[in-house]
Amino acid sequence: MNTAKTYLLFLLTVLMILSYYHFYILNNNDTSRKYVSYEQSTVDKRGKHNSVLIYNRVPKTGSTSLMNIAYELYPVNGMRIVQVRLTGHKHSLTSADLITLSRNISDWSDRPILLHGHFSYFNPRKLGIEFYPIYINIIRKPLDRLVSYYYFLRYGDDVLDKVRSKAGDTTSFDQCVKLGQPDCDPKKLWMQVPFFCGSSVHCWDPGSHWALEQAKANLINNYLVVGVTEDFESFVEVLEFLLPDFFQGSMAYLSETGKSHIKKTKHKDPVSEETKKLMQSSAIYRMELEFYNFALKHFKTMKKMVKNQKSLEGKPQFVFEKVRPK
């Protein structure tokens, strides 16, 4: 009888130990799973942040030519391209739309994303959306850009057979300036500064010194590279070197096809020196030109850096030292 009690007590003790051990293992495994899940989520989010490229295209700067390269190469480079076409406010998204757009972008994580469209700069983190897009852009000499846009609205281009908003109006740019018409008002030059400044109403005040300084700050601090239309191929070369996930093969494509500029305005009259001097005398022109020259100087430095790096076959020009702990 005593032997039976002792055996039963032994079995109960073993069962209690096994139950405790099982409970301990389950709890620790759950914690590990939660920790791994959290870490994996963080890594996934970082991956999303690093794979979003935003190109907020300034009208009539050669943006169609750049996007043609991207669309031709996207199957090879394995990226997704999304165009954002604004249907409400021209060139600026509302705060609500910016939040919706940012949340949608941050949810696309299966491959690199190139988002493009004619909209001004925005910072998703300001909206409470934690992802970190890379920004690029290209700008053009301000008067050349406006003249091109003026004739584009009247004659269209040699690619899309589409009736433009000013079709049928044969008034030349010179005549427009002489008559003081709104389409050639110096205020129309105010485009590249606000595109870099942002969606604030103050950015779109023609001649705003605050907007100019904000645009410069954004260009330096928030854009990886900003090229110029007048040196388009160098811009593409820099993009291919810095962003191979998006632009690998771009220079070879340009070399093989010769498609560095795929669209041209059908008709454009030369602008007289008198008209140029009149437009260039405006304060708005001088501010837009100041921004252009600021961007050009920065791009020349970037181009030189990339050429030097390529001559070293991409080898980094730094070493790690005094790492502790090893």
> CA nearest 148: which of 231, 261, 61?
61
Q: What is the pLDDT along the chain (326 residues), one digit of tens a residue?
A: 556 656 556 655 655 655 554 444 444 444 333 222 323 333 343 344 458 999 999 999 999 999 999 999 999 999 999 999 999 878 888 889 999 998 888 777 678 999 999 999 999 888 888 888 999 999 999 999 999 999 999 998 877 666 576 888 999 999 999 999 999 999 999 999 999 999 899 999 999 999 999 999 999 999 999 999 999 999 999 999 999 999 999 999 999 998 877 778 889 999 999 999 999 999 999 999 999 999 999 999 999 999 999 998 878 888 999 899 98
What 3-state DSSP class applies to 149?
helix
With b for 16 or more beta-carbon neighbours within 10 A and e for fewer, the 236-250 pattern comes to bbbbbbbbeebbbeb
**Contact (Cβ atoms closer than 8 angstroms) between residue 70 and residue 81:** yes
88-92 own/partner pairs: CB under 8 Å, 24+ apart: 91/118, 91/119, 91/120, 91/194, 91/195, 92/119, 92/120, 92/199, 92/204
User: What is this structure's pTM?
Assistant: 0.82
Give me the residue spans of the domains in the chain.
Answer: 50-311
Q: Is 118 a catalytic residue?
A: yes
Instruction: Exactly one of 91, 116, 209, 261 is catalytic; name it.
Output: 116
* Topology given in CATH for the domain delimited by 50-311: Rossmann fold (3.40.50)
Instruction: Exactly one of 22, 49, 118, 261 is catalytic; name it.
Output: 118
Phi, psi dihedrals of residue 226, rounded to the nearest 5°: -130, 120
